[in-house]
Each structure stands twice: as structure tokens, then as C-alpha cells.
Structure 1
Amino acid sequence: MPLYEHVLIARQDLSNAQAEGLIEHFSTVIGDNGGKVLGTEYWGVKTMAYKINKNRKGHYGFLRTDAPSAAVQEMERLARLHDDVMRVLTIKVDGHDEGPSVQMQKRDDRGDREERGDRGDRGDRGPRGDRGPREDRGPRPERR
């Protein structure tokens, strides 16, 4: 059977549990129609590049499936009819990557950021930055 990856975007006013329940619902649709769900991920609420149905944010879900095309078509049909689903993207892939998706890897990398410490917004620059002391540049012109 062909391998697919699906991304679902649900309305932002759903709770996290409802959004994860939506992912489980579409997983069972795939399973009931002869396919296998190899993995699911809930990516959380993300800001979109443009409004969809007057929403700026949405709950993102990701499914990896091994399913016949009839099961995928049925899942997409039900997703289009579902009021909480704003968009569905399905891609046929040659093989699934092992481990978490790129979006989940991004979330894991956030903890690796270094602390700024007492440098504040100026980084390693001193209080005058790289301009040097004021005396070297001569007197300031008078203000009007």
C-alpha cells in the first residue's frame, strides 16, 4: 500500500484534548477503511501566514499512514465535512522518516538556546557599542 503523510489544521477555539481527539478520529477512519496509521503527532497551536475562515491560529496535527487510496479519499471527504477542520494536506511519500517530524524536532531544540546572562539587548558590545568614546569625534553641533 502507498505511504502518505497528512497535516490537519483545526480551529483555534478547540481545546488541546479536542484537537488530539480529532486526530484520533481520523486515525480510526483510516483504520476502518483498511489502512494502518504508523504514527500521529500533535504540533500544538501555531500562527498561520494568513487568515483561514477568519482564524489567525490553528491546532496542527500530523499523521503517517500506510493506506489504500480509498481510505485516504474517505478521510479527506470526512475532514472537509467536519466543521472543526479548516485545512487538510495529504502527500504521497516514498518512505517515512524514522523518529519525530521536523516540527517536533524544532520544539525539542528550543531548550538548547543559550542564556543571554547580564549582557541585555546589547550583546557583547560595551555601553557605546563600537563607536568609541565621544571625545574622539569632536564637539556636537548646536541643536536648533
Structure 2
Amino acid sequence: MELYESLFIIRPSVSDEETNTLIDKMKAVADKTGAQFIKAENWGKKKLAYEVRHERKGTYAYFYFRAPNTTVGELERAYRLEDNILKFLTVHLEKELVPPRPLEASAQETDGGRI
């Protein structure tokens, strides 16, 4: 099983309830092919860097999961078939993501712990 990140952007005109239903639908597509989710998050509405399909904002959804390589094809096929999804990107990860260290800890390490 490989490690993947997938991000997709949903039209902002879609209601919150429909957005959650769409995220669950995409998650079910991946589950059906054997994906094991580590994280599935709704990042909310954000401004897009440029206009996409006449939209200036979008609702971002993020998946972080382990899955066989066939999952990506099925998931991206489902993204393409859904009219309410503006854009998507799935990335294969070489190793697990490491959570960032707290800012204070990294500052103390650089100056030898002196204040």
C-alpha cells in the first residue's frame, strides 16, 4: 500500500450539507478500492489564486491515505465525473508526513537554548 495526499476544490455555491455529502461520496469511492484513511478534512471556503470555471472561491477538501495504486485512478475518475468539483490534485508521497515542530523549540535549538 502506498501513501497519498489528495486535495479537491468544490464550487462555493454548493451548500454545507451537500459539500459534506460530496466529501463522503469521494471517501466512499476510495474506501471501495481498499484505501485506509489517515486524515479527511474539510478546510472550508478559500479564495482561489485565479478564476476557475467562473468561480473566484472554492471549498477545499483534503484526504491523506494509504491505498493500492489502483485507488488513485478510481478516485480521479470520480472527481472528473462530479460537476461540483472544480479542480483536484493527488500526490504520491515517498514517506510519511512529519508534523512540524513548535516554533519555540526550533528557536531554542538554534541559539543553544540560551534566552
| Equivalent in the alignment of 1:50 | 50
**Matched residue, 1:82:** 82
- Give the number of the structure with larger relative contact order, counting CA–CA contacts within 8 Å between residues 6 or more apart: 2
* SS, match of residue 97 in structure 2: coil
Displaced runs of 4 or more, over 4 A: none
1:65 and 1:24 mapped to 2: Cα distance?
14
- Following superposition, the deviation at residue 98 of structure 1 comes to 5.7
| Rounded Cα–Cα distance in structure 2 between residues aligned with 1:69 and 1:90 | 12
Q: Give the count of matched residue pairs.
A: 100
Q: Is the 8 A contact 1:35 1:68 kept in 2?
A: yes
What secondary structure, in the 3-state scheme, does the structure 2 residue paired with 1:12 have? coil
Per the TM alignment, residue 26 of structure 1 is displaced from its structure 2 partner at its CA by 1.0
Q: Which amino acid aligns with 1:50?
A: Y
C-alpha distance in 1 between matches for 2:45 and 2:96: 24
Give the structure with the higher percent strand.
Answer: 2
Give a deviation string over 1:66-120, Cα, whole Å, max 9, x none. Answer: 1112111001001111111111100111233366x9xxxxxxxxxxxxxxxxxxx
Paired position in structure 2 for 1:25: 25
Structure of higher CA gyration radius: 1
Distance 1:24 1:95, change over 3 A: farther
Structure 1 unmatched ranges of 5 or more: 102-144
Match of 2:61 in 1: 61
Gaps of 5+ in 2: 101-115
% identity of equivalent residues? 32
Q: Distance in 1 between matches of 2:9 and 2:96?
A: 21
2:68 counterpart letter in structure 1 = P
